[in-house]
Amino acid sequence: NAGVTQTPKFQVLKTGQSMTLQCAQDMNHEYMSWYRQDPGMGLRLIHYSVGAGITDQGEVPNGYNVSRSTTEDFPLRLLSAAPSQTSVYFCASTPAPTSGGYTFGSGTRLTVV
C-alpha cells in the first residue's frame, strides 16, 4: 500500500515550458486535490476532483489544468510555466472531506527560472 505517490520530487523549468506533475493513489479515494505551498501562505487549493471524470477549480487555478480519467490518477499540468509558479506542490486524497483527513503525497519542489 503506497498511499499517494507524486513524481517528480524536484523539477527546474524555464519560463514558458510546460510539464505534468504526476499523482497516483492506491487507496480507492474518491476525492483528490492539488495544493501549492508558499512561505507564509499555507496550503492553497489549485484544483480538485470528487471522482473520475469530475474536476473543479480551487482558489488559485490560473495556469494549471487537471483531468481525472481514473480513480487512481490525478495529474496536474502547467501550461506555460512562470516564475510565480515556483512553489512546492502537494497532491492529496481522502475518501470524502468529512470522513477523514487528507493523505498527502511527498511533494514536488518546482523552480521556474
Partner 1 sequence: GENVEQHPSTLSVQEGDSAVIKCTYSDSASNYFPWYKQELGKRPQLIIDIRSNVGEKKDQRIAVTLNKTAKHFSLHITETQPEDSAVYFCAASKPGNQFYFGTGTSLTVIP
Residues interacting with partner 1, by CB under 8 A?
Answer: 31, 33, 35, 40-45, 48, 50, 58, 90, 96-98, 100-107
Kindly tell me which of 13 and 34 has the beta carbon lying closer to partner 1. 34
The CB-of-3 to partner 1 minimum distance in angstroms stands at 10
Count Cα atoms within 13 angstroms, Cβ side, for 42.
4
The CB-of-62 to partner 1 minimum distance in angstroms stands at 17
Kindly tell me which of 18 and 56 has the beta carbon lying closer to partner 1. 56
Kindly tell me which of 14 and 42 has the beta carbon lying closer to partner 1. 42
